[in-house]
Structure 1
């Protein structure tokens, strides 16, 4: 479990932004035959997302803490339906380890969430990767029940595509 999850207030303590461990979607963990630095390079090269990422086909951001991340996502909820614009904000940035962004709680859309992409070095030329989406607050469990299955599919597809891209770059390198 990520450190922020351990330290977060529960939904009972904070019904707006509280954490419920039952409202988290997690991708499969993939073993990548490339250094964490190469995986990090792929994750932070936002202009090239459309070349490899099956879920997030456009991402624009400076990746500074608090900066917006403007994304265009493939709508996995409708089996390849129209694309969906998405705007989140960078909330975690630890080079070669963690890239996170979150959707805030808004009066007109009270569904906050946080996505963490985690890289763990396992050797000089290998690492693992997984991604989580924590649906926060009192509405989080309902969002998880609706969106969790298709978000997991999207995150699993992304993890596999990231693995392929990083391994390709490393082999060419």
Structure 2
């Protein structure tokens, strides 16, 4: 069972752009490198249950990245995008990431993301990596805000 202290939550940002535009940015996986400093590449069909390959810069080896394979568990347009790392025979660790969008009207929305660490080593993972994940999730939220507002101000839509 998870404990509340094993949840990392980003800053909550209010974005001067429609929720639909923010959603399109989140599901335009090929463009993550343009705005997301934490997950610089993502590969997935975005079908429920499908693998989601997340490429993250390795802080221990600058200039390299590592891949985490998770699975898509929620796809609710303009509201929620979630994936989770499932336990395997090699690792009993698990986690779930949720990205939330809340419409604040036709031209504004709110965004934040959470990650809950689950499994046998959840406490240790939170203690070891929680602050690093928090710092990066805050950067993601702010990067998404800046990117969405710039696209919206320029009158551009995301092309998928």
User: Which category of TM-score, normalised to the shorter sequence, fits these structures?
Assistant: over 0.9
The gaps in structure 1 that reach 5 residues or longer are 1-10, 12-18
- Of 12, 17, 20, which residue of structure 2 is paired with 1:29? 12
Asked if 1:165 is matched to 2:147, the reply is yes
Residue matched to 2:33: 50
TM-score normalized by structure 2? 0.92
Residue matched to 1:4: none
Distance change in 2, residues 1:150/1:125 (3 Å): same
Which digits, 9 at most, give the CA deviation of each residue in 1:13-72, with x for residues without a partner? xxxxxx221100010001100010010010000001111111111111111110111121
| RMSD over equivalenced CA pairs, Å | 1.3
- The count of aligned residue pairs is 155
Is the Cα contact below 8 Å between 2:74 and 2:80 reproduced in 1? yes
- Of 51, 68, 73, which residue of structure 2 is paired with 1:68? 51
Which digits, 9 at most, give the CA deviation of each residue in 1:103-136, with x for residues without a partner? 0011211110000000011111001100000001
The gaps in structure 2 that reach 5 residues or longer are 156-160
Residue matched to 1:15: none
Residue matched to 1:150: 132
SS of residue in 1 equivalent to 2:64: strand
TM-score normalized by structure 1? 0.85
Shift of 1:169: 1.0
